[in-house]
Amino acid sequence: MAKDNKKYDKLNIEKINLSLQAGMFNQRIIYEYIISSTNSLSKELACNGYPEGTVVIAEAQTAGRGRLGRAWESPSGKGIWMSFILRPDIMASEAPFITIITALSCAKALERVIGISPGIKWPNDIIYNKLKVCGILTELGLDSKMSKINFIVLGIGINVNIDVSDFPDELKDKAVSLKNIVGKKVNREAVIIEILNIFYDLYSAAVKSSFNNDFRKELIGEYTKYSITIGQAIKVMGADGEKEREAVGITNEGELIVINSHGVEERINSGEVSIRGINGYI
Ligand code: ADP
């Protein structure tokens, strides 16, 4: 349980539990005051057999992570630093689709709770006005043959009531918080409830459809409406250097479809690359 510390806004976990629809997330929240990373604790719990739907929420993270080992700033009491465990019956190669469902859930939740129109930077960032308000980190536990998924941990970091001045210098022109966007404090519980309820609906429908192609196509169509990557000239930064491409779509598995300068289509997997705008971060 979180330590009592009056200096920080504490999340009302009871209120969250009461507002979650009956199902995998309800009454499964583990709440901590400060931990290294909600993804790290969730992976540990998943390895110890904790079930699908286990949620870990912390007021602060000392070693929050983005993709490719990058640091994620997570000051206390002002953000949503949350991860949850899933155990879908899918192949490892299908995992990017889960990131797509998560990003879509976060974008829809922000739209509903605070009335903004966010964009999604493929695959995993929620953007407002070219600034990052939310990041998602997907990590996998695989079976011994390294092909089927044993568990997936989805980490979500949202800057809620952080002020721009609280961000370290290198983030000041990259990051934004919900408070900065709407000009007043935002209720963190409401955002968490909406994300988990929307995710639950989408994920249950995906499981029910056995992740079939029609369902995927429909969801990718919805995701594409929020995409700020598709239709753009982008820089793809990977192990083999930097290349300019045009982003044209997303596959049913969640890969980015790009076109090179010779008009040839390529598929890009999110685990390997970072995407940047031609002239800047977005
Ligand atoms: P990208 O692929 O866009 O670089 P990642 O998913 O790897 O993003 O996330 C890590 C990056 O996000 C960091 O390198 C940093 O630039 C940025 N970042 C770190 N903390 C925050 C935060 N609280 N809000 C917004 N951006 C952040």
Q: What is the pLDDT along the chain (282 residues), one digit of tens a residue?
A: 455 555 678 999 999 999 999 999 999 999 999 999 999 999 999 999 999 999 999 999 999 999 888 999 999 989 999 999 999 999 888 899 999 999 999 999 999 999 999 999 999 999 999 999 999 999 999 988 878 899 999 999 999 999 988 899 999 999 999 999 999 999 999 999 999 999 999 999 999 999 999 999 999 999 999 999 999 999 999 988 999 999 999 999 999 999 999 999 999 988 778 999 888 887
Q: Kindly give the distance from the C-alpha atom of residue 124 to the centroid of ligand 1, in angstroms, as a whole number.
A: 10
Residue type, 38: T
The CB of 233 under 6 Å from ligand 1? The reply is no
State whether the beta carbon of 72 lies less than 6 angstroms from ligand 1: yes
CB 156 within 8 A of CB 106: yes
Residue 264 Cα, ligand 1 centroid: separation in angstroms?
Answer: 30
Tell me, using a 6 A CB cutoff, whether residue 73 lines ligand 1.
Answer: yes
In this structure, which residue's CA is closest to atom 19 in ligand 1?
72
